Amino acid sequence: MRTLITGGAGFIGHHFVEQALKNSDMELLLLDRLDCSSNLGRVRQIDSFEKNRNRIKFFYHDLKSPVSKQLYEQIGQVDWVIHMGASTHVDRSIEYPMEFVMDNVVGTTNLLEYARKRETKVVYFSTDEVFGPAPPDKSYKEWDRYNSGNPYSASKAGGEEMCLAFANTYKLPVIITHCMNVFGERQHPEKFIPMTIKKILAGETVTIHSDRTKTIPGSRFYIHARNVADAVMALMSIPGTEGDKYNIVGEKEVSNLQMAEQIAKILDKPLNFEMMDFHSSRPGHDLRYALDGKKLAEMGWSPKISFEKSLEKTVLWTVAHKEWLCG
């Protein structure tokens, strides 16, 4: 089976590559523009890369432009397209919203046009943020209404709607996934977990975003990228999953303060933190996100590696590879 992975040198994309090399015989075609968030060094550090490098091909392309005829022929026929390439940083989307429209809506449409010509199946990788903030005790199901709180989430919702339009208009077989806060080895240092590791090691203060009273921290259902990749591969292997949406959810809800405390404990370092009113400091960010994961659970999927084990492994690996904290 030949699988094209957009964003294959990105954080989640390279973890999918790792899972596919270990647990399948796929030929993997990586499509990436190699910007600030992608790095071929990630792929080369995969344990099984050297003995499987003949199964990987790389293509440089920015999906803001359509796939050219030459690139179309170079890639050849594929069985699946896993669309993980996207701009994801909320703060940058607030400052440069049109860049996110171009990357996540126009880029997705160009990718769908390629897939339509190839008559291949597509997995579109979306986000929990399309639903907006989740009130206490509320977990959004796959087809609940959207309420994007920032240009990033709106652009991902726009990409989803293009996927549905191609499915309805051209009968393109598309799977849409919503995922929550993903962490793991080789994550960009702007993200919360590597940033927290770096600050704790340096004895700096960790900012914990909270409600206006500065007493209730924000919370997420964190999930390791390997578990995400495993869920995507499960959806690819189950017949009849096309034309639907699926939430990929971590096993437990963890506040940002609890996360920082666990990281400090693993590092055996003190935690210096400050609660900050995120409404004032981070417009466009939401205090709580939550997805309902019953659908995938009823299909027989659950995270194979626990949150605690995943976090400990990630923190210890990052300490041993501090070059990934530079940025």
Amino acid at 97: P
How deeply is 191 buried, as exposed, middle or buried, from its count of CB atoms within 10 A (0-12, 13-18, 19+)? middle
Query: E strands, the chain, where?
Result: 2-6, 27-32, 56-60, 80-83, 121-127, 174-179, 182-183, 206-210, 219-220, 223-224, 244-248, 254-255, 273-277
Query: E strands, 146-232, where?
Result: 174-179, 182-183, 206-210, 219-220, 223-224
Name the catalytic one among 114, 124, 152, 289: 152
Name the catalytic one among 18, 32, 103, 128: 128
Length of the chain: 327
* Separation CA 204–CA 190 (nearest Å): 15
Name the catalytic one among 18, 32, 103, 129: 129
Nearest to 85 by CA among 170, 186, 181, 155: 155
128 catalytic, yes or no?
A: yes
How deeply is 69 buried, as exposed, middle or buried, from its count of CB atoms within 10 A (0-12, 13-18, 19+)? exposed
27 catalytic, yes or no?
A: no
144 catalytic, yes or no?
A: no
DSSP H/E element including 73: helix 69-75
User: Which neighbouring-strand residues pair with 223?
Assistant: 182
- B/e letters for 19-36, b = 16+ CB within 10 Å, e = fewer, are bbbeeeebbbbbbbbeee
* Separation CA 276–CA 113 (nearest Å): 44
Q: Which residues are part of the catalytic machinery?
A: 128-129, 152
